[in-house]
Amino acid sequence: MALWDKLRAEFIDIIEWTDPTPDTMAYRFERYQNEIKNGAKLTVREGQMAVFINEGQIADVFVPGMYTLNTENLPVLATLKGWKYGFNSPFKAEVYFLSTRNITDQKWGTKNAVILSDDRFGMIEIRAFGTYAMKVKDGPVFIREIVGTNGDFTAESINGQLRSLIVTRFTDAVGEAKIPVEKFAGDINEISDSVHKILAPEFEQYGIEVTKFLIENISMPDEVKKEIFEYSRLNRIDLDQLAKLKTAKAIEAAASNESGTAGAGMGMGMGFAMANQMGAAMSGGQNRPSQSPAAPPPVPPPVPPSLSFYIVLNGAQNGPHDISALKNMAQSRSLTPDTLVWREGMGSWAPAKDVAELSGIFGSAPPPVPGA
């Protein structure tokens, strides 16, 4: 250092740090032989803190503001063992400026696939990546645990260690949460919050606060994604509505067949059997959907339900009535061949005489009583 610079350092002392970089976390203020003039001006800007170190010990911490350095605002430094000058100019101390603003857009990701156990798919491999933001929360702890004697410390200097910590805690959090793998895409915010809560105390051990933690994507093998998509479609099928649709179509087909009610029963049996098989396949407890489910044991078709009809009686809808009740109504002549009737599967109301299932009930009705 030139003689003039040394002399100027003895008479003028302004201690400040204007950070031109976006990711510097700690900066050691350089002085000639670490000498600081008594009465020097210290400027700590917003988003900074200043830490004084004397003989390897952390002495004082200054928050944002402007200070004149003397025994009134350096009480700890003034009482440290080995203080030789009694604040006669100059005194020796190291000054570290720490950035307390958020350092954003820090990347993290799994270098290798993480293996998880899933109840449905078994052992699978996933990868994940995202971003996080952090800032210095406790200056003395940060200097002791991380900075040491480094005179210029950036976020990149610690990112490798922090990324390893994040990946480890991410794996633990996902494994302990027992979240089905098919719900990863919809629960990314919840997983991010869970990992953030686990990471917070870990980072605080280094004097760092994680202010934001985000998972941008969780990926998995293509074959697992394909199975998830296929089963998501099956899960949306309403088996009850499907069974009703199959039954209605079977009855309608049987009604136009010569076999009549027997054909309808067979059609309904097939419809119910198909619905039962689909229900068993979806809830049969197979852990891995990629494996073909075992064939279900043969199930006899259920007894076909008795046919029921609505009728138009005195200008209003009435019913439903089964075949036995309709026979009684035919005998009492409250039901005639021209009475309009309807059942599930018919497109519209029709005279009873035109409905195959009712064609036989009118022949058994006795003729009207003579003279009645």
Per-residue pLDDT tens digits for 100-124: 999 998 998 888 887 877 777 778 8
Per-residue pLDDT tens digits for 301-343: 766 666 788 888 888 888 888 888 888 888 888 888 888 998 8
- Give the model's pLDDT for residue 9: 46
- Mean per-residue pLDDT for 280-290? 50
CATH class of 308-358: alpha beta
DSSP 299-355: -PPPPPPPPEEEEEETTEEEEEEEHHHHHHHHHTTSS-TTSEEE-TT-SS-EEGGG-
Per-residue pLDDT tens digits for 135-168: 999 999 998 888 876 777 888 888 888 888 888 8
With a cut of 50, say whether residue 53 has pLDDT above it.
yes
Per-residue pLDDT tens digits for 232-261: 655 555 555 556 666 776 776 666 665 544
Portion of the chain with pLDDT greater than 90, in percent: 12
- Mean per-residue pLDDT for 272-288? 54
With a cut of 80, say whether residue 290 has pLDDT above it.
no
What is the third-level CATH fold of 103-225? Tetrahydropterin Synthase; Chain A (3.30.479)
Predicted TM-score (pTM) of the model is 0.52
- Give the model's pLDDT for residue 212: 92
d(C-alpha 142, C-alpha 27), whole Å: 12
With a cut of 70, say whether residue 65 has pLDDT above it.
yes
**3-state SS class at 133:** strand
With a cut of 50, say whether residue 87 has pLDDT above it.
no
Q: What's the per-residue H, E or C state across 232-288?
A: HHHHCCCHHHHHHHHHHHHHHHHHCCCCCHHHHHHHHHHHHHHHHHHHHHHHCCCCC
- Mean per-residue pLDDT for 8-17? 67
d(C-alpha 338, C-alpha 312), whole Å: 10
- Give the model's pLDDT for residue 256: 65
- Give the model's pLDDT for residue 209: 93
Greater confidence (279 vs 260) lies with 279
Q: Which amino acid is at 176?
A: E
d(C-alpha 218, C-alpha 223), whole Å: 15
- Give the model's pLDDT for residue 75: 56
CB 151 within 8 A of CB 28: yes
With a cut of 50, say whether residue 80 has pLDDT above it.
no
The region, left, alpha or beta by phi > 0 then psi within -120 to 50, assigned to residue 49 is beta
CB 65 within 8 A of CB 73: no
